Amino acid sequence: MLTQSGTTVPGSDTAFLSDADPLSAFSDRSLLIVDDDKPFSTRLARAMEARGYEVHVAESVSEGVAAVETKAPAFAVIDMRLGDGNGLDVIARLKERRPEARGVILTGYGNIATAVTAVKLGAFDYLAKPADADEIHGTLMAQPGERADPPENPMSADRVRWEHIQRVYELCSRNVSETARRLNMHRRTLQRILAKRAPR
């Protein structure tokens, strides 16, 4: 199990929520996770359940919107880019159905314009992937208008760059030449980066 301090305690899948935990102030702890990266959403769901959330997972915009229509959750973690569209459609519908809901947008496309759009549509905050459960939980529990505390061990600049390159590479169906063209990078330079392990 994971404690609120992030310490792993073997032999249990349930977290003991302290009285000081801000989630204890919410009578409705329903959380919708919308992400088509199944390994990521599975890990995140388990971690958020350990923190006291009642989790439902959807893998597409259509599933996410359907879940909101069935029962609009108090919290949501929604990936920006999904196979059948844009996660902003889910956040917009959530805010229509439940204006006080706290929805966080996750995206590998970290830029100011996207962040502004997400917030205008009602997102409570915006996090770049890969975000961990502690960071997401802290963001969902932050006071309105305040930012969550920065993570203790954020990704290095090299890792952020590597993640971006990997994302574009996957979107280009692992075509090195096309990826290099879109990144305005020499093909051999890209091949060297792809051959290396992910930086810390």
Q: Which residues contact 123 (CB under 8 A, 6 or more apart)?
A: 88, 91, 103, 104, 105
Fold category of 157-195 in CATH:
Arc Repressor Mutant, subunit A (1.10.10)
- ω into residue 150 within 30 of 0, thus cis? no
Q: Which single residue is written with the structure tokens 């199944």?
A: 38
Indicate the domain borders of the chain.
26-141, 157-195
pTM over 0.85: no
pLDDT computed for residue 59 by the predictor: 95
Q: What is the pLDDT of residue 81?
A: 84
pLDDT at position 5 is 35
Contact by Cβ (8 Å): 91, 114 = no
The CATH superfamily assigned to 26-141 is: Response regulator (3.40.50.2300)
Beta bridge partners of 127: 106
pLDDT at 39: 87
Nearest residue to 125 via CA among 98, 143, 152: 143
pLDDT at 75: 96
**pLDDT attached to residue 15:** 38
Residue 117's pLDDT is 72
Tell me what pLDDT residue 107 has. Answer: 78
Q: Which residues of the chain have pLDDT under 50?
A: 1-19
Q: Do domains 26-141 and 157-195 have the same CATH topology?
A: no
- Average pLDDT over the chain reads 80
HEC string of 131-199?
CCHHHHHHHHHCCCCCCCCCCCCCCCHHHHHHHHHHHHHHHCCCCHHHHHHHHCCCHHHHHHHHHCCCC
Query: Which pLDDT tens digit goes with each residue over 31-58?
Result: 999 999 888 899 999 999 999 999 999 9
Distance CA 90, CA 109 (A): 18
User: What does the pLDDT read at residue 6?
Assistant: 37
The pLDDT value recorded for residue 177 is 94
Token duo for residue 127: 């996090």
Q: What is the pLDDT of residue 150?
A: 56
